[in-house]
Amino acid sequence: MTEPHPQQRLIEGSPYVDDDGSADEGLLAALTEWAEGAASYPQVLAALARARLLVPVVALLGEVGYDDAGLAHDKSSDMATVLLTGADGRRALLAFSSTTAMRGWDPEARPVPVAAPLAAATAVQEGADALAVDVGSAHAFTVAGDDLQRLAAGWRPVRLPDGGWAWAGAR
């Protein structure tokens, strides 16, 4: 195999090429149990840390051009992730467990499948205070603060022999 040129950049392929947009069964079960009061916050974090999420991107109108008749038409547009700002000013990056959940929020949004730690890292990079999963659903879940930072760093919640929970560092 030939060595790549030192300045050549390689693009890693997505591990989700065959993703059909369905929710991860373990994550959906944990979210549903959370909503019913039957699962603890660390249990949901543990399921989330292993799951694929869909981060929505939406089109934003850029420059607007006008034709000779004075009619506006789209000249350019950009795609952007979505940050939700709460009444208290805190911002959250949106992510969804499935295309069905995402379409319930915005049918026009396009899903970008990513591992949950990457979604958390994106939230941190964008200056968001939280990662909001499945907003608008009966099983919405939010990760914020130190938990968001740890998830973004690739740490995983693990159950201890005494039944408690702790974060295990990234490998």
Domain spans in the chain, listed from the N-terminal domain onward: 25-63+72-168
pLDDT > 90? residue 47: yes
- Taking the CB of residue 9, how many other CB atoms lie within 10 A of it? 6
pLDDT > 60? residue 25: yes
Which 3 state secondary structure label does DSSP give 88?
coil
Q: For residue 3, what is the DSSP state?
A: P
Alpha carbons within 13 angstroms on the beta-carbon side of residue 150 total 18
pLDDT > 90? residue 61: no
Residues 69-87 have a mean pLDDT of 72
Confidence (pTM): 0.81
The answer to whether residues 64 and 73 touch, using CB atoms and an 8 Å cutoff, is: yes
**Tokens coding 49:** 């840390």
pLDDT > 70? residue 10: no
Separation between Cα atoms, residue 87 and residue 96, nearest integer Å? 21
pLDDT > 60? residue 1: no
- pLDDT reported for residue 19: 82
Tell me how many helices (H) and strands (E) the chain has: 5, 11
